[in-house]
Amino acid sequence: MSQTGKGRVLLSVTGYDPKRWYELLSTERDVVLEPEGARDPSIRYAVVWKQKPNVLSALPNLRAVFSVGAGVDHLFADPGLPDVPIVRVVAENLTQYMREYIVWRVLDHHRQGIQYRAQQIGKIWDEPYQPPAGDISVGIMGMGHLGRAAAGVLLNLGFSVNGWTRTERPMEGVSCWHGRDGLPGFLAATDILVVLLPLTHDTRGIVDYRLLSQLRQKNALGGAVLINAGRGKLQRETDILRALDEGILKEVSLDVFEQEPLPETSPLWTHPNVFVTPHAAATSDPAHLVPPMLAQMDAHERGEPLTNLVNRSAGY
């Protein structure tokens, strides 16, 4: 151990270059980049994204794992994930990006951006009926930190907001449903569905044809809208395309996909009523995410409790 006796940090990331994370974590702690550090007893913390299996379980003194993204499903893919606290990243920066993306996509569908862009191509000067926000219900599946932040701005803009959560979780001004029993009521009252759920055994594939066909289709927008900024594997893309073709869905915005990058062969790329972004709703910017991680490590070493912990039995 160096840096005045602070526990070392293992950085275990696959899929992208962790250079900035390494630099920023190194400003305050000794950082070891995997595959270095195997079985190192001085490592107390691991900062991970899709870590290689069984690397963490081999560390004898690991005290906590930090995920570099808001979702933690990537962590549970490791069969040797040790039984230590898992800290979810919560940063104002990440919340702001996600809230912004949700409000942007809701407004673009609500204000008929797809229709206006098509009219512009045809040089058509025509004003379709514009419902007021109060006549539109935005339903958010997953009312955690990010969902609640988006709900706040949508309420402020005058939308009706519905929320659906696994267990009861009320929010002022929001009509709330919970559990599988609450799902039909939530969907039947929702015009624009926003999916922000974590990916767990319970939620995998939840956005399927059966769910989509329960959304309110006879509404002031002329159809239901889907926005998914959660995880790609929450959705069944063939079902989304079928719902679009059958008129169950009017328009869709997707930031996440069953397979990423979205394959060139996917019909989602070219569908006129689908808007695609490349998993860009909320970027994990290390400059904003590393400081709260370092602060949590310091607090932990002072004997204070870790915060924003993942509920392992729920899987998120």
Catalytic positions = 231, 279
List, edge to edge, every strand of the sheet that includes 8-13.
Answer: 31-33, 8-13, 43-49, 64-67, 86-87
274-280 contacts at long range (C-beta below 8 A, 24 or more positions apart): 274/244, 275/105, 275/108, 275/114, 275/251, 277/101, 277/253, 279/232, 279/255, 280/255
* Element spanning 110, H or E: helix 92-110
Minimum CB distance to its own copies smaller for 214 or for 284 = 284
Residue 267 engages its own copies in binding (rule: CB under 8 A): no
Place of tokens 């002329």: 222
Stretch that binds its own copies, among 121-129, 178-186, 235-243, 290-298 (CB under 8 A): 121-129
Stretch that binds its own copies, among 12-20, 149-157, 165-173, 244-252 (CB under 8 A): 149-157
Number of residues that bind its own copies (CB under 8 A): 44
Instruction: Using CB under 8 A, pick the residue from 127, 180, 303, 313 that binds its own copies.
Output: 127
Residue 19 engages its own copies in binding (rule: CB under 8 A): no
Q: How far is the CB of 254 from its own copies (least distance, A)?
A: 11
Minimum CB distance to its own copies smaller for 104 or for 209 = 104
Residue 173 engages its own copies in binding (rule: CB under 8 A): no
Residue 269 engages its own copies in binding (rule: CB under 8 A): yes
How far is residue 131's CA from residue 92's CA, in Å, rounded to a whole number?
Answer: 32
299 alpha carbon, distance to own chain's centre: 27
Query: SS3 for 138?
Result: strand
Query: SS3 for 252?
Result: strand
Place of tokens 């602070």: 6
Minimum CB distance to its own copies smaller for 53 or for 132 = 132
Stretch that binds its own copies, among 16-24, 25-33, 128-136, 236-244 (CB under 8 A): 128-136
Residue 84 engages its own copies in binding (rule: CB under 8 A): no
Stretch that binds its own copies, among 29-37, 109-117, 224-232, 293-301 (CB under 8 A): 109-117
- CB-CB contact of 172 with 148 (8 Å): no
137 alpha carbon, distance to own chain's centre: 21
Residue 189 engages its own copies in binding (rule: CB under 8 A): no
* Element spanning 137, H or E: strand 137-141
Instruction: Using CB under 8 A, pick the residue from 110, 148, 236, 250 that binds its own copies.
Output: 110
Instruction: Using CB under 8 A, pick the residue from 84, 153, 189, 220 that binds its own copies.
Output: 153
How far is residue 96's CA from residue 165's CA, in Å, rounded to a whole number?
Answer: 21
| Interface ranges with its own copies (CB under 8 A) | 93, 96-97, 99-101, 103-104, 107-108, 110-111, 113, 116-117, 119-120, 123, 125-127, 130, 132-134, 152-153, 156-158, 260-262, 264, 269, 275-280, 283, 285, 288
